Amino acid sequence: MEDTGSLLNRLNKAKRHSDLESHIDSLDGVASKGYGSYLQKYLGEHDMSVADLSKRALMDRSYCYQIIRGEKHPGRDKIIAIALACGMSLEETQRGLEIASEGILYSRSRRDSILIFAVNNKMSVVTANALLEQYKETALS
């Protein structure tokens, strides 16, 4: 898979509609399976099972499998919950959000600041939700 910088460089050089069309054609399928592939690779590298993930993320196991297969596209909160459940770093969490075309965690946002703190401190989903509720912010769905 071509890195984002290379894709942007190629797109910046596009002068004709055919250049744009070629670029768009090269993206087909990337968004639909990107996050699932990212998650599957992460689980494999960290010797974590889907059963462990679903338990820690408080998600149905079949839903987690559907994400990995690219059949379901989790929203921002689900991706953050998965990151917490996996013990991902902030960089890995942000990368997953980018791949899924969801907004990255933003330190100027009150709720996002709490979530950044939770990720950096390797909190569980339950603990992160308790912290969000303590500050009267919406829990992860």
Q: Does residue 32 surpass a pLDDT of 60?
A: no
Residue 99 lies in a domain: yes
Specify if 63 maps to a domain. yes
Higher pLDDT pick, 19 / 99: 99
pLDDT for residue 141: 81
Q: Choose between 2 and 139: higher pLDDT.
A: 139
Q: How far apart are CA 43 and CA 52, in angstroms?
A: 10
Assign 17 a pLDDT band (cuts: 50, 70, 90): confident
State the average pLDDT for the chain: 91
Mean pLDDT of 113-133: 98
The residue range of the domain holding 8 is: 4-134
Determine, yes or no, domain membership for 140.
no
The answer as to whether 141 is a domain residue is no
Residue 139 lies in a domain: no
Contact (CB, 8 A) for 115 and 105: yes
Indicate the pTM of the whole model: 0.81
Q: Would you state the pLDDT for residue 10? A: 85
pLDDT over threshold 60, residue 29: no
- CA pair distance 86, 1, nearest whole angstrom: 23
Per-residue pLDDT tens digits for 58-84: 999 999 999 999 999 999 999 999 999
The answer to whether residue 40 scores a pLDDT higher than 90 is yes
Q: Taking residues 29-56, report their average pLDDT.
A: 87
Give the CATH number, domain containing residue 104: 1.10.260.40
**Per-position b or e across 31-68, b if 16+ CB within 10 A of its CB:** eebbbbbbbbebbeeeebebebbbebbebeeebbbebb
Split into its structural domains, the chain has a count of 1
pLDDT at 28: 57
